[in-house]
Amino acid sequence: MKQEHILLLPVGLIIIVGIAIIFAGIPVSRPNQVPGGPTTLPGIEVRSFQGNDLSSVNAFRENSIRGPQQVNISDYRLTITGLVNTTDVYTYDEVRERYPHYTKVVTLSCVEGWDVTILWEGVQIRDLIRHAGPDPRANTVVFTAHDGYTTSFPLGYLMDRDIIMAYRMNNVTLPEERGYPFQLVAEDKWGYKWIKWIEKVELTDDPTYRGYWEQRGYSNNGDLDKSYSSR
Ligand SMILES: Nc1nc2c(c(=O)[nH]1)N[C@H]1C(S)=C(S)[C@@H](COP(=O)(O)O)O[C@H]1N2
Ligand SMILES: [Mo]
């Protein structure tokens, strides 16, 4: 009896060491790992970033003119056209693969009195406009969305600043009701300038163009630090 007990220790150790050797030899998969960088796992919404508390991607009031739009991504095309050297037409993947990505925490404020602070990720719209090559006569950019919504900006606002066209918010893909595939992060502008479900970006020489809400009494510049009423 005594001898059997003494044998248990080395036998147990051999089994444990054996299991450890087997597991050490099995390669562990590391998705999306950048050498030396963190492993990014998709699908988890972040709620704070560099000291900023972020709103949830679900903390919005859905008040779009025709409700949430369902964009079929295999049919989806983004067109940059109008007063440009060449009209560019992109698929969803082409936009994300061909241009550098940027992230930024920006607050969206709606004229209804609510706001949300979100970590946005996307491409800079000026990179796409530059690629199309603005004609010297162009001074205005009109955006059109899947629901027929439109809004416009001075060309200078989009070219002189870091204006993001977002495809992710808080590290998750834009949900359908938040503008999938793309929403413009129109910094320092009222929420009605943050066009969702963007399909067309058209350069024009008509600074008097008025978008959907702008035709209904909201200011054309949409500047946050000014009244949104154009009357
Ligand atoms: N295509 C489209 N974009 C739109 C709208 C819309 O009705 N259609 N509403 C605008 C308004 S008034 C606001 S406040 C913001 C709200 O964005 P959210 O729905 O993601 O919160 O979207 C803007 N972009
Ligand atoms: Mo709004």
- Coil, strand, or helix at residue 24? helix
- CA separation for the pair 138, 202 (Å, rounded): 10
Task: Output the residue whose Cα is nearest ligand 1's atom 18.
Answer: 178
* DSSP-assigned letters across all residues of 141-207: EEEEETTS-EEEEEHHHHHHS--EEEEEETTEEPPGGGTTT-EEE-TTB-GGGS--SEEEEEEES-T
User: Is 119 inside any structural domain?
Assistant: yes
User: Is 27 inside any structural domain?
Assistant: no
What number does the ligand 1 atom closest to the CA of 110 have?
14
Distance 115 CA to ligand 1 centre (A): 12
Ligand having the closest approach to the CA of 180: 1
CATH code of 127's domain: 3.90.420.10
Structure tokens at 228: 């949104």
Query: How many residues does the structure list for the chain?
Result: 231
What number does the ligand 1 atom closest to the CA of 109 have?
14
Domain count, the chain: 1
- Cβ of 143 closer than 6 Å to ligand 1, yes or no, is no
Task: Output the residue whose Cα is nearest ligand 1's atom 20.
Answer: 178
What number does the ligand 1 atom closest to the CA of 198 have?
1
The residue type found at 139 is: N
User: Is 227 inside any structural domain?
Assistant: no
User: Is 110 inside any structural domain?
Assistant: yes
CA atoms in the 13 A half-sphere facing the CB of 24: 6
Pocket test for ligand 1, best of 147, 152, 192 (most atoms within 8 A of CB): 192
Domain boundaries, position 121: 48-60+72-216
- Does a cis peptide bond (omega within 30 degrees of 0) precede residue 207? no
Tens of pLDDT along the chain (231 residues) come to: 455 565 565 555 444 444 454 445 444 433 444 456 555 555 688 999 988 899 998 877 888 999 999 999 999 999 999 999 999 999 999 999 999 999 999 999 999 999 999 999 999 999 999 999 999 999 999 999 999 999 999 999 999 999 999 999 999 999 999 999 999 999 999 999 999 999 999 999 999 999 999 999 999 999 999 999 986
Task: Output the residue whose Cα is nearest ligand 1's atom 10.
Answer: 192
- Cβ of 60 closer than 6 Å to ligand 1, yes or no, is yes
User: Is 41 inside any structural domain?
Assistant: no
User: Is 18 inside any structural domain?
Assistant: no
How far is residue 114 CA from its own chain's centroid? Answer: 20
Q: φ and ψ at 81, to 5 degrees?
A: -150, -165
Q: φ and ψ at 172, to 5 degrees?
A: -120, 155
Which of 198, 210, 205, 203 is CA-nearest to residue 82?
203
